[in-house]
Amino acid sequence: MIAYEKLHEKLNQSTKCFLYVVGCDDIDFSNPDSAIWIFEMTQWKSGAVPKNTNDIYGEESGRQNKFIVYREYMEEISVEKLRDIVDSHWKEFERIT
């Protein structure tokens, strides 16, 4: 997450950047009704998505330097909605160029 945060920062220096983190379980991206969970990096950086380093459910993974993001802090959307979001960003970039 730290690397993505730095990448987002760098990319936003020269242009506008949208960096989404997508959470899913065996998602079928060909099914427009499938549910996924997302948040945008600006939400992470603003603190709207907590930077949990400990599992609130007490499960030990043995890994260090990890962040755990719970779905309660992500937006549940459909694959179709994700497509609409990406399309709107493409249109915005086309207007810039």
Domain residue ranges of the chain, discontinuous segments joined by +: 2-96
15-65 pLDDT tens trace: 888 899 988 778 888 999 999 999 999 999 898 988 877 766 666 655 556
Cβ distance 8 to 17 under 8 Å?
A: yes
**52 bridge partner residues:** 68
Q: What is the pLDDT of residue 26?
A: 80
Q: What is the pLDDT of residue 74?
A: 92
Tell me: pLDDT of 9 over 80: yes
Phi, psi of 91 (to 5 degrees): -60, -40
Q: What is the pLDDT of residue 60?
A: 62
Q: What is the pLDDT of residue 53?
A: 77
